[in-house]
Amino acid sequence: MKQNIEPQNIAQRRHRILEEIESAAKKASRNPDDISLVAACKTQTNEIIIEALAAGQNTFGENRVAEAYEHFMAQATPRPELRMIGPLQSKKAEDAVAIFDVIESLDRPSLALAVSKAMQKLSKQPKLLVQVNIGDEPQKSGISVSGLPQFLAELQDKYDLKINGLMCIPPANQVAGPYFALLQKLAARHNLQELSMGMSDDFKTAIQFGATHVRIGSALFGERPSL
């Protein structure tokens, strides 16, 4: 059957993902233009990055500052929107502020302090999302659900940081819908616009619950090369 054949290249896979985003949006009575495809490109080679750029992909999510440099600063590529989606060490905050348009993984006061200092020093203001540990998993980064209100207040009052939205990674091997619904509720409660949620396996569900940014790796690039 035709639709079970895996498309072979990035342009074809991207095209299919965009179609799936569009149909999921329509099903949820949403405008597909309100949903951005973020290419989660950890471990991909520069050749693959160039292929994705050539296919028209203009938003990328990076897990590590050094890898973002490698992918986008060390070669003369067109400059896409770069989003930090991985855990960020405070000592890397300045490098991150220097190159990212958006930092999605703000999740603790010490990092907020480092980011706000870097923003002042570099006179640069990346958009900021707060990562929420939506399943309250001990091993996962993100502010706890119960700690979110105080953290948001502190970001505003103490660090003068404007927050654009929330990001989460739901627990693996569980139905994701309830976690996406919770993040949507938290964003609405705090009047935040951007919702970064949904990956290759669950982005259609995330769109149903209001995702504005879906972060997609393997469905776009194929299975990741193991490290």
Ligand X SMILES: *Cc1c(COP(=O)(O)O)cnc(C)c1O
Least distance from C-beta 85 to ligand X, angstroms? 4
Backbone angles phi, psi at 79, to 5 degrees: -95, 105
CB of 200 to ligand X, least distance (A): 3
Complex with ligand X: residue 148 or 199, whichever CB lies closer: 199
Q: How far is the CB of 201 from ligand X (least distance, A)?
A: 6
Q: Provide, rounded to whole angstroms, the least separation between the CB of residue 136 and ligand X.
A: 17
d(CA 25, CA 73): 34
Residue whose CB is less far from ligand X, 159 or 209: 209
Measured from the CB atom, the residue of 110 and 218 that comes closer to ligand X is 218
DSSP string, 120-163: HHHT---EEEEEEETT--TTS-SEETTTHHHHHHHHHHTT----
Q: Which tokens hold the place of 54?
A: 């050539």
Query: Which residues of the chain form contacts with ligand X (CB under 6 A)?
Result: 40, 42, 63, 85-86, 169, 199-201, 215-219
Which of these, 143, 212, 209, lies nearest to 180 by C-alpha position?
Answer: 209
Nearer to ligand X, 123 or 173 (CB): 173
